[in-house]
Amino acid sequence: MSQKAFIKIIQSYCFRLNVAQFIKKAVFVLYIGAGVGILLQAIAFIIPFYYAGGCTIIILILVLLTAVVLAFIKRKNMEQTALVMDRFGFEERIVTAYGNLEKEGALVELQRTDAMNQLQLQRDKIRIAILPSWKLIVGLAGLFAILIVLALMPSAMKERARELHHIREAAREKTEEIEEILEALEELSQEQDLTVAQQAALQEMAESLQASQEELQQASSMEMMKAASQKLEYRYEHTGNTLATLAESLRNGATVSSVTAESMQALSEKLRGMHEAELAQGTAGQPGNQNGTGQNGQPGNQNGTGQNGQSGDQNGAGQGGQSAEGGTNGSNGQGDLNNGSGIGRGTGTSSTPHDYVSIPNEIAESENLTGNAVNHDASEYFYAQNGLSWEGTHMSHEAVIGSYEQNAYEGIAAGKYPSGMEEIIKAYFSNFN
């Protein structure tokens, strides 16, 4: 055997050894990665953990990278390979010969020849397995199978995690949007020529939007998110209007530069635009969820306080309201075109801005709720809180009454009430109209 062939043999075993080492390390770290992945997937069944899948993939990639790095750091060089080869009964002949390749001397040459001869004769003794034992591989495959099953298995918690994720994403986007507006408001408030009242108004707007920011960040359900969005939508509009008013007054004044007024106007328009966008999003995204209250400027909003905005007929005392969307039209409406006396019911909408009030526990008797449902008064509470009322926490009188009325009529239809009470119930609700 020539010296070149001797080196080539060691090189081939060196490569094989390093590949085997990498695979061994990869299997080891993949065991760890799969174990951690299974743990993460199991956690995703217990608590909402949207990123369980992503984390598992990242961990698997990281452990594989670790295996590559470890295998590279601990890679065997030629001398170490020769030592490994010697373990197959060569009694350190190969490593000695390799270490003395450049040296000369009778005994050194004799040793080299002896090593090469032995290697040629007994090369088949050297067995360096590239793959680990089949038991390890089967075990790893089993772990991955469990991991995949767990990852694909649906569960309520996973659904919840997905929902929360979407909420947080939406909240994050809106929070960033609010942040921009807050910065713009902050800049406007720096204008020294603004009056104290104007600055206070700007401050109030900022606080109002900050409150929305907090609500969005704390939203943990679709309902909370929806409520927070509605508040935000209102606040956009309100802030936009207030800014427009301020801008107008600034334009009329002499002390403030027109640039500030223009900035305010621009911000006002931006906010209004955002309000409209929110509206469009709300309408498009949440069909049928308005319970027929038709806020968000749905049909019927043009009628101001006139609930039952479209009576059953022109002359009658029709009671049937018109549902804005998804509501029930006056199915029980009776009457004709000329003299109808229908008793139709519905969840008619007649909201204008600031048109919502708290769900009345005690109609007109709460210290915060002094409006009268019968008179269609506006709620003081509503005004006291800068008009921050919205579905979920506050409803229009009409909606509340409509809901009760609907239940009552359904009860009548189902025969729930004693005979004689039906007319009383109908009369009771008629008084509201």
Partner 1 sequence: MGEFGNNGLQDPAYMAQRIAACEREIQKGIIGQREIIRQVMLAMLTGGNVLLEGMPGLGKTRLVSTISKVFDLSFKRIQFTPDLMPSDVTGTNIIIKNEQGNAFSFERGPIFANLILADEINRATPKTQSALLEAMQEHTVTVGNDSHALTEPFFVLATQNPIENEGTYPLPEAQLDRFMFKILVRFPSKEELKGIVTLTEGSQEPDIIKQMDSAGLLAARALINQIPIADAVMDYLLEIVMQTHSANPYIKEGASPRAAQALIRASRAKAFLEGRFNVSFQDVKETAFPVLRHRILLSFDAVSEGVNEDNVIQKILEGTKQ
The span of 7-15, 88-96, 297-305, 353-361 binding partner 1 (CB under 8 A) equals: 88-96
Give the one residue of 46, 73, 104, 106 binding partner 1; rule: CB under 8 A.
106
| Longest CA span, the chain | 131
In the chain, count H helices and then E strands. 13, 2
* 121 counts as binding partner 1 under rule CB under 8 A: no
* 377 counts as binding partner 1 under rule CB under 8 A: no
Helix (H, G, I), strand (E, B) or coil at 34: helix
Q: Residue 26 and residue 43: Cα distance in Å, rounded?
A: 25
Which of residues 95 and 171 has its CB atom nearest to partner 1 in the complex? 95
Structural contact between residues 250 and 261, judged by C-beta atoms closer than 8 angstroms: yes
Q: Residue 289 and residue 293: Cα distance in Å, rounded?
A: 9
Q: 104-107 — which CB contacts under 8 Å span 24+ positions?
A: none
Which of residues 107 and 196 has its CB atom nearest to partner 1 in the complex? 107
* 84 counts as binding partner 1 under rule CB under 8 A: no
Beta bridge partners of 394: 358
Which of residues 111 and 334 has its CB atom nearest to partner 1 in the complex? 111
Q: Minimal distance in Å, beta carbon 126 to partner 1?
A: 16
Give the one residue of 5, 110, 131, 277 binding partner 1; rule: CB under 8 A.
110
Cα–Cα nearest to 230, from 169, 302, 306, 290: 290
The span of 95-103, 248-256, 283-291, 425-433 binding partner 1 (CB under 8 A) equals: 95-103
* 7 counts as binding partner 1 under rule CB under 8 A: no
Q: Minimal distance in Å, beta carbon 149 to partner 1?
A: 43
Q: DSSP strand E in 375-414: where?
A: 394-395
* 238 counts as binding partner 1 under rule CB under 8 A: no
Give the one residue of 27, 31, 92, 210 binding partner 1; rule: CB under 8 A.
92
* 97 counts as binding partner 1 under rule CB under 8 A: yes
Q: Residue 281 and residue 295: Cα distance in Å, rounded?
A: 14
* 341 counts as binding partner 1 under rule CB under 8 A: no
Size of site (CB under 8 A) for partner 1? 20
* 125 counts as binding partner 1 under rule CB under 8 A: no
Retrieve residue 255's tokens: 């002390």
Q: Minimal distance in Å, beta carbon 83 to partner 1?
A: 6
* 114 counts as binding partner 1 under rule CB under 8 A: yes
**Cβ-based neighbours of 357, under 8 Å, separated by 6 or more:** 369, 371, 378, 379, 381, 382, 389, 394, 395, 396, 397
* 103 counts as binding partner 1 under rule CB under 8 A: yes
Which of residues 13 and 50 has its CB atom nearest to partner 1 in the complex? 13
Which of residues 82 and 408 has its CB atom nearest to partner 1 in the complex? 82
* 83 counts as binding partner 1 under rule CB under 8 A: yes
Give the one residue of 7, 16, 19, 79 binding partner 1; rule: CB under 8 A.
79
* 289 counts as binding partner 1 under rule CB under 8 A: no
The span of 94-102, 156-164, 307-315, 358-366 binding partner 1 (CB under 8 A) equals: 94-102
Angle (nearest 5°) at CA 122 between 119 and 127: 100
Q: Minimal distance in Å, beta carbon 46 to partner 1?
A: 45
Q: Residue 112 and residue 6: Cα distance in Å, rounded?
A: 10
Percent helix / strand / coil, the chain, rounded to 5: 65, 0, 35
* 111 counts as binding partner 1 under rule CB under 8 A: yes
Which of residues 77 and 245 has its CB atom nearest to partner 1 in the complex? 77
Cα–Cα nearest to 278, from 226, 241, 323: 226
Give the one residue of 54, 105, 253, 287 binding partner 1; rule: CB under 8 A.
105
395 DSSP 8-state letter: E
Q: Residue 300 and residue 294: Cα distance in Å, rounded?
A: 7
Structural contact between residues 384 and 360, judged by C-beta atoms closer than 8 angstroms: no
Q: Estimate to the nearest angstrom the gap between the alpha carbon of 374 and the chain centroid.
A: 41
Structural contact between residues 53 and 151, judged by C-beta atoms closer than 8 angstroms: yes
**Cβ-based neighbours of 241, under 8 Å, separated by 6 or more:** 268, 272
* 96 counts as binding partner 1 under rule CB under 8 A: yes
Residues that bind partner 1 (CB under 8 A): 79, 83, 86, 91-93, 95-97, 99-100, 103, 105-108, 110-111, 114-115
